[in-house]
Structure 1
Amino acid sequence: MFINASLIVQMIVFLILVGFTMKYVWPPIIKALDERAAKIAAGLSAADKAKAELAGAEAQIAKELAATKAESGKLISDAEKRAAAIVDAAKGRAEEEGAKILAAAKADAEQQVSRAREALREQVAALAVKGAEQILQKEVNAGVHAELLARLKTEL
């Protein structure tokens, strides 16, 4: 092999370039790559941490949702019980009111029957007196025969 001077000069220039690159160019590139690798690692670490926090938050949400469902079910059950109690109380009051109205109606009916009987007795007594007048062909004095008329009324 024949090595000439241009090849030696090219090798020297290449070695100077490699030395310059190793001293001044390569360290900032390595530093930038290391920083980027650190940022990527930190990002991956943060992503893993965020996934763990998300899983924890989802578990907490599920727990709170279950508690809320249980509480709402209890509230609905309590509301249904209160509604049933209110309906029962209203039924009781309505029955009491109905019984009062029925008793008042019965008392009123009894009073009306008593009045009707009394009016009927009065009419029967008046008819009996008229009948007696016609039979006897003379007038019956109510003042004189009051005791007889009162006894007749009580018998009717």
Structure 2
Amino acid sequence: MSINATLIAQLIVFLILVWFTMKFIWPPIVKALDERAQKIADGLSAADKAKSELSAANKRVEEQLSAARNDSAQRLADAERLAQSMVEEAKTRAAEEGAKIVAAAKAEAEQESIKAREALREQVAALAVKGAEAILRKEVNAGVHADLLNRLKAEL
């Protein structure tokens, strides 16, 4: 065989191989590549969509956290104001109660003082009567009277 016949035979075999590849092998490969490209494109669009959703979710979370912080700060301020008012109210009530107790103690001390004065007056009167009785029983003598008056002073 000559070189030309070999070249023609190889050309025919090559063309059959190209035709067979283009007819049966190339379409599934192109189809697989197209499907893969579509999957990659879908994945990229899904990633972009997820990224935008994540950004929106982060923004919503930040807004909610900010609102929660503001709410907790407001509640804390309200609680502090309530506690302050309760403390002031308790101080006022304690001061009023203390004033009542002091007034009651003063009144009681005044009554005790009055009772003690009355008891002292009664004792002085009794001693005066005793002294007068002793003076009247004895005879009128200046020395004896002075002695009785000194004893009376000592008893007072």
CA positional deviation for 1:3:
3.3
CA positional deviation for 1:105:
0.5
Higher helix share: 2
Question: In the TM superposition, what are the counterparts of 1:1-156 in structure 2 within 5 Å?
Answer: 3-137=3-137
Computed over aligned residues only, the root mean square deviation of the Cα atoms, in angstroms, reads 1.2
What count of residue pairs does the alignment treat as equivalent? 137
- Can you give the 5+ residue segments of structure 1 that lack an aligned partner in the other structure? 139-156
Task: For residues 54-113 of structure 1, give each alpha carbon's deviation from its aligned partner in whole angstroms, at most 9, with x where no partner exists.
Answer: 111111111111111111110000000000110011011111111111111111111100
Structure 1 consecutive aligned stretches of length 4 or more whose deviation exceeds 6 Å: none
Q: Distance in 1 between matches of 2:65 and 2:36?
A: 42
Q: Distance in 2 between matches of 1:69 and 1:77?
A: 12
| TM-score (ref. length: structure 1) | 0.84
- Can you give the 5+ residue segments of structure 2 that lack an aligned partner in the other structure? 139-156
Alignment correspondent of 2:144: none
Q: Distance in 2 between matches of 1:114 and 1:134?
A: 30
Instruction: Give me the identity figure in percent.
Output: 66
CA positional deviation for 1:4:
2.9
Task: For residues 6-56 of structure 1, give each alpha carbon's deviation from its aligned partner in whole angstroms, at most 9, with x where no partner exists.
Answer: 222111111100000001110110000000000000000000111101111
| TM-score (ref. length: structure 2) | 0.84
**Matched residue type, 1:61:** V
